[in-house]
């Protein structure tokens, strides 16, 4: 093997240091070495004779130079404020400060500085100029250091002062590393000419194992350096698209996640959103690979990220985008511009997008955010619901018992769940008590292998929960029992696929529907897709209260059932079961909506009165609990 890349002057770059004294930028020095240019710029900054210092890079083949460092208005410190983070992960080694969990925490605390300078925290960690500038900020930097020390003191049991000393030592070591960066720049240039897998292989063959982490992250920092957020994002997406190994894909995923964690980057990449919930629905659609039409005002590379999610998990990027959703959902921020009723509709629509087979996307944070939003939106007359009622009402929005169970399990690991442990525990026990077989957990049209995978997914959620061992063991035993039901003797007590009640959504869009005595028409909490006219027979309406079925009404020939869910698009408020042999006419959502639309055109007052009546009926049903 020949001479290592770091010594071959692969970069072929020219670095110029420019100064500004109030009129225009003038070239003060030029060098082929980045470190030499940055050291010279630092001396100019310390001298304080210029109102601005800039360092640019021009590589062979580039049409124009890019700015790699700039500080202007040096006579005063901008009044930047740190962001307060609630928690951090402990960093045991120097290298761990370069890894994604630490980078995200530091990036959130230092967000004001990063967004002002259009850089990621990874770029900052390898940029001596920015690190020295940060160190000279007499208010911002000490505040950031103190907050970081406070977070780490909670994890270590040390005092805040002890952790501040430790973090300052780490900062000094990171700065020392950053001043010796010419070898990293060479690998960054190599990456620009090859894919990430090739670059990783080269580093493995040339760099000592102890220096590999520093080299890999430094190479990535220089690869995305310069340009705006759209350009950084494009380079990161390209790395992910070209990745052949899991290691390369994970590193590219980290870069994308770090970029999307910044407010300025989100604004530049996505433009403005008409409402907050529109932004959140967009993020959810991207992580599920369903954001198929990218508006012209957004970065075209958003479509490429959507395509990546079609083939890869991109867990870091997924977590960052869902964090944005859960933080917004759990806040007091309005979801729409049209008042509380529209907020409620937007909330329900977002929940449908977030539903997974065994819970909600986003885990405990999303489950808690959903409950807090349900607390403020699902009550009547603008009043907040008690937390136990909010939990029940939120669970009504979930389409199956498996989803409800997953949400409750996730809640046990949230701050809300810790505070209201008894309420969550009661809901879990009530749900478990109502389960007789695996068929009660999932919708009837779910295939057997999907049910078993769902049980495994619930077990995985259970394993990550912090609930007490007694309840965890009970849940685990119940899931194990349910997963064996289809193949064991216990299955003999379950109805066959022909005998089990079939949901109405298996029926044609319109037409007659026949039910046998005891057959379920629809269940409480299910999403409504049809209304029914009773032609013959009797239907009993009931609701679940404290684990028991409470009859509400008995409907007969000539009456319509299930129409409320089609009018306001909320889940069924009650269950409907045939008392005797019944014949019904099914009215589809589309058919009724067409009629409602015509009514809105011809008589808006009557249309409004009908929707108001449905809302009040739902409120009355909730208040009877």
- Residue 257 banded pLDDT, cuts 50, 70, 90: very high
pLDDT on residue 40? 84
Under DSSP, the state recorded for 98 is: G
- The CA-based diameter of the chain, rounded to the nearest angstrom, is 93
- Residue 607 predicted with pLDDT over 90: no
Cα distances (Å, whole numbers) of residue 88 to 110, 354, 419, 478, 511: 14, 26, 21, 35, 58
Q: Are 271 and 297 in contact (CB under 8 A)?
A: yes
Calculate the average pLDDT of the chain. 82
Please give the residue that has the higher pLDDT: either 86 or 306: 306
- Residue 604 predicted with pLDDT over 70: no
Please give the residue that has the higher pLDDT: either 482 or 307: 307
Find how far residue 594's CA is from the centre of its chain: 35
Q: Tell me the H-state helices in 465-511.
A: 469-484
Is 0.75 topped by the overall pTM? no
The tens digit of pLDDT for each residue in 524-543 reads: 877 777 888 888 999 998 88
Residues in a beta bridge with 57:
15, 66
Place of tokens 């990621």: 120
- Residue 625 predicted with pLDDT over 70: no
Please give the residue that has the higher pLDDT: either 426 or 300: 300
Q: Rounded CA gap, 176 and 156, in Å?
A: 26
Lowest average pLDDT, out of 11-20, 316-325, 332-341, 484-493, goes to 484-493
Q: Are 448 and 486 in contact (CB under 8 A)?
A: yes
pLDDT on residue 503? 40
Q: What's the average model confidence in pLDDT over 154-163?
A: 89
pLDDT on residue 141? 92
pLDDT on residue 554? 85
Considering Cα of 438, then 443, then 449, then 455, what sign does the dihedral take?
A: negative
- Residue 619 predicted with pLDDT over 60: no
Length of the chain: 625
Q: What's the average model confidence in pLDDT over 442-458?
A: 75
The tens digit of pLDDT for each residue in 82-116 reads: 998 888 888 889 999 999 999 999 999 999 999 99
- Residue 428 predicted with pLDDT over 80: yes
Please give the residue that has the higher pLDDT: either 407 or 473: 407
Residues in a beta bridge with 56:
16, 67
Q: What's the average model confidence in pLDDT over 178-189?
A: 81
Please give the residue that has the higher pLDDT: either 71 or 137: 137
- Residue 500 banded pLDDT, cuts 50, 70, 90: very low
pLDDT on residue 105? 95
The tens digit of pLDDT for each residue in 365-413 reads: 999 999 999 999 988 777 889 998 999 889 988 888 889 989 998 998 8
Cα distances (Å, whole numbers) of residue 80 to 77, 109, 113, 119: 8, 11, 7, 15
pLDDT on residue 137? 87
- Residue 482 banded pLDDT, cuts 50, 70, 90: low
Q: Rounded CA gap, 435 and 614, in Å?
A: 31
- Residue 149 predicted with pLDDT over 60: yes
Q: Both tokens of residue 553?
A: 């009404």
């Amino acid at each position: 093997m020949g001479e290592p890349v770091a010594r071959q002057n692969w970069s072929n770059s020219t670095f110029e240091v420019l100064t500004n004294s109030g009129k225009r930028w003038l070239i003060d020095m030029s060098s082929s070495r980045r470190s030499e240019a940055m050291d010279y710029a630092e001396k100019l900054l310390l001298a304080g004779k210029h109102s601005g210092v800039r360092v640019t890079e021009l590589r062979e083949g580039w049409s124009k130079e890019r700015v790699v460092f700039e500080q202007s208005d040096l006579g005063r410190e901008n009044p930047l404020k740190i962001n307060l983070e609630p928690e951090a992960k402990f960093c045991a080694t120097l290298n761990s400060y370069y890894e994604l969990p630490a980078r995200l925490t530091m990036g959130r605390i230092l967000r004001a500085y990063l967004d002002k300078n259009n850089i990621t925290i990874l770029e900052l960690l390898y940029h001596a100029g920015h690190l020295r500038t940060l160190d000279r900020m007499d208010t911002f930097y000490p505040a950031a250091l103190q907050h970081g020390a406070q977070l780490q003191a909670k994890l270590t049991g040390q005092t805040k002062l002890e952790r501040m000393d430790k973090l300052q030592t780490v900062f000094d070591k990171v700065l020392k590393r950053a001043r010796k960066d010419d070898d990293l720049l060479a690998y960054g240039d190599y990456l620009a000419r090859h894919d990430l897998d090739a670059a990783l292989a080269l580093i493995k063959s040339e760099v000592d194992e102890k220096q590999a982490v520093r080299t890999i992250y430094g190479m990535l920092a220089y690869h995305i350096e310069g340009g705006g957020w759209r350009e950084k994002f494009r380079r990161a997406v390209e790395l992910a698209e070209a990745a052949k190994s899991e290691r390369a894909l994970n590193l590219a995923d980290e870069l994308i996640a770090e970029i999307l964690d910044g407010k300025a980057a989100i604004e530049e990449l996505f433009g403005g959103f008409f409402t907050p919930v529109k932004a959140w629905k967009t993020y959810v659609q991207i992580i599920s690979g369903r954001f198929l039409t990218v508006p012209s005002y957004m970065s075209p590379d958003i479509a490429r990220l959507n395509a990546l999610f079609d083939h890869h998990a991109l867990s870091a990027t997924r977590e960052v985008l869902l964090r944005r959703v859960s933080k917004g959902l759990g806040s007091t921020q309005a979801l729409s511009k049209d008042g509380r009723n529209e907020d409620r509709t937007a909330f329900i629509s977002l929940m449908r997008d977030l539903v997974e087979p065994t819970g909600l996307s986003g885990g405990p944070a999303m489950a808690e955010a959903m409950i807090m939003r349900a607390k403020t939106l699902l009550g009547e007359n603008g009043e907040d619901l008690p937390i136990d009622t909010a939990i029940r009402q939120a669970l009504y929005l979930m389409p199956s018992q498996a989803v409800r169970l997953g949400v409750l399990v996730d809640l046990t690991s949230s701050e809300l769940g810790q505070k209201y442990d008894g309420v969550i525990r009661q809901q879990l026990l009530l749900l478990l008590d109502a389960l007789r077989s695996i068929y009660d957990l999932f919708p009837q049209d779910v295939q057997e292998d999907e049910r078993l995978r769902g049980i495994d997914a619930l077990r995985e959620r259970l394993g990550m929960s912090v609930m007490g061992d007694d309840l965890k063991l009970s849940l685990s035993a119940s899931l194990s029992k349910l997963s064996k039901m289809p193949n064991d003797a216990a299955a003999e007590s379950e109805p066959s696929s022909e005998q089990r009640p079939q949901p109405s959504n298996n029926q044609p869009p319109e037409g007659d529907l026949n039910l046998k005595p005891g057959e379920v028409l629809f269940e409480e909490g299910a999403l409504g897709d049809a209304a029914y006219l009773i032609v013959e027979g009797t239907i009993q309406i009931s609701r679940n209260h404290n684990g028991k079925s409470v009859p509400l009404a008995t409907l007969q020939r000539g009456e319509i059932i299930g129409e409320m869910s089609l009018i306001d698009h909320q889940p069924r408020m009650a269950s409907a079961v045939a008392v005797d042999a019944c014949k019904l006419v099914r009215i589809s959502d589309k058919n009724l909506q067409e009629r409602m639309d015509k009514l809105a055109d011809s008589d808006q007052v009557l249309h409004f009165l009908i929707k108001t009546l449905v809302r009040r009926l739902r409120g009355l049903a909730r208040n009877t609990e």
